[in-house]
Amino acid sequence: MEQPKHLKLKGFLAFRMLHELQKKRQCGDELAMAIGARFGTKLTPGTIYPALKFLRKKGLVSYKRFGRKKTYSLTEQGKDELKLLKKSFRRIFSGFL
């Protein structure tokens, strides 16, 4: 099985964050609301921001500062990583439904 180069998923948070950022540039609060709504829960800053920091260190997301807010987006490396993750996800979960 082809493993993503940089990201080892512990749960689906990192995958969901990359997926959401593929749609549009977002701040941490927007990501927390979008992902939380999908899972029926509220994500805290203590969950979202360490994950964003991890993704930034891996070169998968970048941010621009607008005043006090940071708005995150996928890097080219992040887009490539997301493609690999989706491919792995489809292979692992195909046939479950």
- What is the spatial distance between Cα 36 and Cα 43, in angstroms, rounded to a whole number? 6
- What is the spatial distance between Cα 68 and Cα 43, in angstroms, rounded to a whole number? 20
One of 3.30.200.20, 3.40.50.1220, 1.10.10.10, 3.90.700.10 is the CATH number of 13-91, namely 1.10.10.10
- What is the spatial distance between Cα 90 and Cα 37, in angstroms, rounded to a whole number? 23
What tens digit of pLDDT does each residue of 19-57 get?
999 999 999 999 999 998 888 888 888 999 999 999 999
So where are the chain's domains? 13-91
Give me 34's structure tokens. Answer: 């979008």
What is the rounded average pLDDT for all residues in the chain?
87
- The region of weakest confidence among 33-42, 53-62, 63-72 is 33-42
- DSSP calls for 58-93: TTSEEEEEETTEEEEEE-HHHHHHHHHHHHHHHHHH
Greater model confidence, 93 or 19: 19
Q: Can you give the pTM of this predicted structure?
A: 0.82
